[in-house]
A = this chain, B = another copy of it.
Amino acid sequence: MRIAEGVEWAVHLCGVLGVVPDGYAVPAGRLAEFHDLPPDYLAKHLQALSRAGIVTANRGVSGGYRLARPASRVTLLDITLAIEGSEPAFRCTEIRQQGPCASPPAACKQLCPIAQAFLAAETQWRNALASVTVADIIRTAVSESFDKARRRTFQDWLNGAVK
């Protein structure tokens, strides 16, 4: 089981978009540049975020991406489901209904206890990711690793990137 690396990219870049001033956007190419990511592959993830309503894409010469709502209202779960899809990680294929001792359909009205246990665990995981917002990530990242010089470097980059 592996979470696609696109989730990591998307969370980082939503963090960047979370500090873009209102009315501005960042072109896809500049977002790719920010962490030196492959633009073509990143574009697919940006489209997925757009379809999920997490980012908004402006078209035209001043085109670019911005968050569709405040960073405090975008959770890590929102981003993960946008990139990975919303299906549960455990997908019961009802093998209890196969073989010489198959459970009859009448005995399978309730979800298989194995699927129940995996879905309960996944609910814990989802709740934990839903409790962390992009705003939380920005706050922690800035406090842990942004000294004065890095703030200036970032601000200079952002000033050059936004449209």
Contacts and interface: CB of A to CB of B under 8 A. Distances in A.
B95 A8 contact: yes
B95 A37 contact: yes
Mostly, the A contact residues are helix
Copies in the complex: 2
Contact of A99 (B34, B96, B113, B121): B34
B120 A128 contact: yes
Contact of A103 (B8, B84, B150): B150
B36 A98 contact: yes
A153 to B, nearest CB: 5
Contact of A101 (B34, B93, B122, B126): B34
Given A12-B114, A36-B98, A117-B132, 18 more contacts: A1-B2, A1-B84, A3-B118, A7-B90, A8-B93, A34-B99, A35-B99, A36-B95, A37-B95, A76-B114, A96-B145, A101-B150, A108-B145, A117-B137, A120-B128, A121-B126, A122-B125, A125-B125
Given A76-B118, A121-B128, A103 B3 contact: no
Contact of A157 (B100, B126, B136): B100
Interface string A112-149: 11110110111011111100100011001100110100
Given A7-B90, A93-B8, A95-B37, A117 B100 contact: no
Interface in A97-112: 98-101, 103, 107-108, 110, 112
B35 A95 contact: yes
| A-B CB proximity, top 9 nearest | A121-B128, A107-B145, A125-B125, A113-B140, A36-B98, A124-B124, A35-B95, A36-B99, A117-B132
